[in-house]
Each structure stands twice: as C-alpha cells, then as structure tokens.
C-alpha cells in the first residue's frame, strides 16, 4: 500500500517537471527575447539602455528678465533662506554667509565664514549673474561638494526675482546685464539638440534652398 502511494507521489512530481520543462520551451519559442529599448525611469547623466545618453536639463536663461523682475517677489522668496543667511549690511554669518552686496562679489569672499572650497572651482571667480542663475537652479550640480543643502529654484521667474533682490542689497548695485551678457547666457544654456533634430533642420534648409532656386529661375 505504501509503495502504491509512493509511486503516485513520484509520478505527480515527474509530471510536474515535464510540464514545467515544456512550458519553458514553448515560452522561448513563441515569446522572442529582445533588449530593453528604453529605461523605465530616465536618470540624469546615465546612459539609457537603448544606447542614447539622457538629455541634460539646464537652467533656463534669466538675464533678460532681471531688469523687469519684481524685487518684492525676490525678497519674499528669500525668507525661505533666512534660516541660514542674513541679508542686512554688516549682518552676521550663520549656517551660510551674509549675502549683503553678493552680486559681483568674489566667491568665498565673506570674511569670517568657513567655506567648503567648492565654489571657486566652478564658473567665474566672482558671483556674476549667470553664476547666480546656475547656482540657484541646482547648487549641488553647479558646485559639487558645496555645503549648501538646498534643492534649488526651478522657476526662472523666481530666480530672476531673487537675483534682482540680491542686486538691490548694495550701496552701489552692479549694472544690469548687458546685451552681450544676455546673449552669452542664452548661448551657453541653450537646450541641447535632440537626436535627428539637426538632420531635420538641414533637410528643411535644403528644401528651402531648392524652392528658392526654382522660384528664381
């Protein structure tokens, strides 16, 4: 009796193994294997599985906006920074340095503050408008190693407003951005061309040239 029960169990296990084997064979036959065409989540700076590099996201240009930016709005935004920074003339350093007269000032130039050393390794030696824009967009990206633990301001209107406010914190505010500075920032922060975009533009130009030639004839 026991032998009969044992044989039944063995037969069941054997049958299950045969079914599993054939299931695997059928799935390989009818479901072709292929490489992942696109990452489920794009990670900045990492090459995707499809072979294309993830598109780098840059800060939008703001220099053209500063002249018309609302200083009151910038002052309101700066309240979120007051836990670490003071903004008044002669104000004390806190977790971060005092920010009076910061626009156009040498980086890491506030006396009595222990800087990380990361700021002077990137961009201009002074806090030019373009540097403030990129830094406020994403501090850790602009200056890896900085002690400023702030995620950044993503809206260009907010960055323009706070830069306009910081500019006002001076006995002699630096001049507003020139046309040359505005153009230089727009060229530097222009979004990178997507794959195939250049070819399309080239084809459109070629078609346009052909049309013009035919018209002139």
The domain spans of the chain are 63-188
Amino acid 172: pLDDT: 97
CATH number, span 63-188: 1.10.760.10
Radius of gyration of the chain (CA): 30
58 pLDDT exceeds 70?
yes
pTM of whole model > 0.85?
no
Express each pLDDT in 61-85 by its tens digit.
999 999 999 999 999 999 999 999 9
107-165 pLDDT, tens digit per residue, is 999 999 999 999 988 889 999 999 999 999 999 999 999 989 899 999 999 999 999 99
Q: How confident is the model at residue 89 (pLDDT cuts 50, 70, 90)?
A: very high
Q: How many other CB atoms are found less than 10 A from the CB of residue 46?
A: 10
In whole angstroms, give the CA distance from residue 216 to residue 115.
65
Strand pairing partners for 106? 126
Question: What is the distance between the alpha carbons of residues 188 and 63, in angstroms, rounded to a whole number?
Answer: 12
Those residues whose C-beta lies under 8 Å from the C-beta of residue 122, and which sit 6 or more positions away, are 142, 143
Mean pLDDT of 78-97: 95
**For every residue of 82-123, which 3-state class applies, written as one string?**
CCCCCCCCCCCCCCCCCCCCCCCCECCCCCCCCCCCCHHHCC
Q: Say how far apart CA 43 and CA 24 lie, in whole Å.
A: 34
């Amino acid at each position: 009796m026991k032998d009969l029960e044992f044989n039944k169990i063995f037969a069941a296990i054997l049958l299950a193994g045969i079914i599993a084997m054939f299931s695997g064979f059928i799935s390989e036959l009818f479901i072709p294997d292929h490489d992942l065409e696109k990452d489920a989540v794009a990670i900045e700076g990492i090459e995707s599985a499809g072979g294309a590099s993830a598109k780098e996201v840059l800060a939008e240009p703001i220099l053209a906006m500063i002249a018309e930016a609302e200083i009151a709005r910038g002052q309101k935004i700066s309240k979120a920074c007051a836990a670490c920074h003071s903004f008044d003339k002669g104000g004390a350093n806190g977790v971060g340095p005092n920010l009076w007269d910061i626009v156009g000032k040498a980086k890491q130039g506030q006396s009595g503050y222990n800087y990380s050393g990361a700021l002077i390794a990137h961009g201009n030696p002074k806090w030019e408008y373009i540097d403030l824009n990129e830094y406020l967009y994403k501090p850790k990206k602009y200056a890896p190693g900085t002690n400023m633990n702030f995620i950044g301001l993503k809206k260009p209107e907010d960055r323009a407003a706070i830069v306009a406010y910081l500019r006002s914190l001076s006995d002699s505010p630096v001049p507003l951005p020139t046309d040359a500075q505005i153009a230089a920032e727009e060229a530097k922060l222009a979004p990178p061309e997507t794959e195939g975009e250049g070819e399309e533009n080239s084809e459109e130009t070629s078609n346009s040239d052909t049309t013009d030639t035919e018209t002139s004839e």
